[in-house]
């Protein structure tokens, strides 16, 4: 079995459930495996708060030493390539490498060329496996299982690695998934539904940020129009099913896709998702180091 974690679609349902069980055990207080003496390097070529620093916390919880690679202060500035930069850390003998990069499937050029297991912290608009795993853990804690649940992913679908990863894995776990949001960000084949219908029918409302940094041109809607048409405001909560929850991978833009007073309302699991990110990342590091 590969110790890499690049795309969830490469993992069986059984493997996904094993990671979630281990993450839940960590959440329940299971004593951490002690990987003292091992080294992790976190290489974030794109900005990140949650993924980068929760990997950092997870690695330290497991006893690893952590190197936080800083692209701006590295020899990338002297035209060293991405490939040679990663190869350099691999040749130092690090035990696990975490990478986020703006290029889809950046990892393909590394496969077979590095020894350390590689954990994908997000590639372009492609995959965000640890985000989906923490989303799944949050859903499992809430509902107990996945079969028959309905999720609506709402927002900038086309540019979202979270949408792409969750759309695939949630259906494989027996969930029904629809997407909604502005026409300019819709994607063919992703079961589009009008916003109010998606809100009424779903057990999980997953909101997404508009990913301006991936757009070739400015959004057609103003932020105010976006909020009016597709933002989750307090009055729209009444459309939701009684036990439906709100999720968001964050960072979120208060007053655009989510109203200020909805971020921390009773239905919101946004900060619980972030907490679960540490447990999930502990589980995937444990797996990468051959102990799961
Ligand atoms: N959800 C997520 O990936 O957040 P960051 O970009 O802050 O890591």
Domain boundaries, the chain: 8-128+275-288, 129-269
Ligand 1 atom showing the smallest separation from residue 54 Cα: 8
Count of CA atoms in the C-beta half-sphere (13 A) of 233: 11
How far does residue 247's CA lie from ligand 1's centre (Å)?
A: 13
How far does residue 24's CA lie from ligand 1's centre (Å)?
A: 21
pLDDT over 70 percentage in the chain? 100
Residue having the nearest C-alpha atom to atom 6 of ligand 1: 48
How far does residue 8's CA lie from ligand 1's centre (Å)?
A: 17
Q: Is the pLDDT of residue 189 over 80?
A: yes
Instruction: Enter the pTM of the model.
Output: 0.96
Q: What is the mean pLDDT of residues 154-170?
A: 97
Confidence class for position 83, pLDDT limits 50, 70, 90? very high
Q: What is the mean pLDDT of residues 223-245?
A: 96
Confidence class for position 222, pLDDT limits 50, 70, 90? confident
pLDDT over 90 percentage in the chain? 92
How far does residue 51's CA lie from ligand 1's centre (Å)?
A: 5
Least confident of 36-40, 109-113, 129-133, 220-224: 220-224
Q: Is 68 in the pocket of ligand 1 (CB under 6 A)?
A: no
| Residue in the structure block whose two tokens are 């990997």 | 55
How far does residue 54's CA lie from ligand 1's centre (Å)?
A: 10
Q: Is 160 in the pocket of ligand 1 (CB under 6 A)?
A: no
| Residue in the structure block whose two tokens are 């819709």 | 186
Span 129-269: which CATH code? 3.40.50.1370
Q: What is the mean pLDDT of residues 105-122?
A: 98
Q: Is the pLDDT of residue 218 over 90?
A: no
- Angle between helix axes 13-27 and 270-288 (nearest 10 degrees) is 110
CA distances from 93 to 3, 86, 89, 208 (A): 16, 11, 7, 38
Same fold for the pair 8-128+275-288 and 129-269: yes
Ligand 1 atom showing the smallest separation from residue 47 Cα: 6
- pLDDT for the residue 210: 86
- pLDDT for the residue 18: 98
Span 8-128+275-288: which CATH code? 3.40.50.1370
- pLDDT for the residue 171: 98
d(CA 11, CA 273): 21
Least confident of 21-30, 71-80, 135-144, 217-226: 217-226
- pLDDT for the residue 253: 92
Q: Is 249 in the pocket of ligand 1 (CB under 6 A)?
A: yes
Strand partners, 66: 40
Q: Is the pLDDT of residue 292 over 80?
A: no
Q: Is the pLDDT of residue 211 over 80?
A: no
Least confident of 74-88, 212-226, 260-274: 212-226
What is the rounded average pLDDT for all residues in the chain?
96
């Amino acid at each position: 079995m590969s110790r890499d974690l690049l795309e969830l679609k490469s993992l069986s349902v059984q493997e996904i459930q094993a990671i979630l069980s281990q993450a839940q055990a960590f959440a329940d207080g299971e004593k951490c495996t002690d990987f003292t003496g091992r080294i992790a390097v976190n290489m974030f070529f794109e900005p990140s708060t949650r993924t980068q620093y929760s990997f950092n916390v997870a690695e330290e919880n497991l006893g690893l030493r952590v190197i936080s690679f800083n692209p701006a202060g590295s020899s990338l500035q002297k035209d060293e390539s991405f490939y040679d930069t990663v190869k350099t850390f691999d040749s130092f003998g690090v035990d696990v490498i975490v990478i986020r990069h703006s290029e889809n499937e950046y990892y393909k050029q590394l496969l077979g060329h590095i020894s350390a297991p590689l954990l994908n912290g997000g590639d372009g608009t492609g995959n965000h496996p640890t985000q989906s795993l923490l989303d799944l853990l949050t859903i499992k804690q809430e509902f107990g299982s996945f079969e028959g649940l309905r999720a609506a992913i709402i927002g900038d679908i086309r540019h979202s690695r979270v949408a792409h990863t969750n759309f695939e894995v949630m259906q494989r776990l027996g969930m029904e998934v629809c997407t909604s949001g502005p026409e300019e960000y819709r994607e063919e084949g992703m079961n589009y539904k009008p916003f109010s219908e998606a809100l009424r029918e779903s057990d999980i409302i997953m909101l997404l940020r508009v990913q301006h940094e991936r757009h070739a041109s400015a959004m057609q809607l103003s932020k105010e129009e976006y909020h009016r048409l597709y933002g989750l405001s307090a009055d729209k909560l009444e459309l939701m099913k009684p036990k439906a929850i709100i999720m968001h991978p964050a960072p979120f833009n208060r007053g655009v896709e989510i109203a200020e007073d909805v971020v921390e309302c009773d239905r919101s699991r946004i900060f619980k998702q972030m907490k679960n990110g540490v447990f999930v990342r502990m589980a995937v590091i444990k797996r990468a180091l051959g102990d799961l």
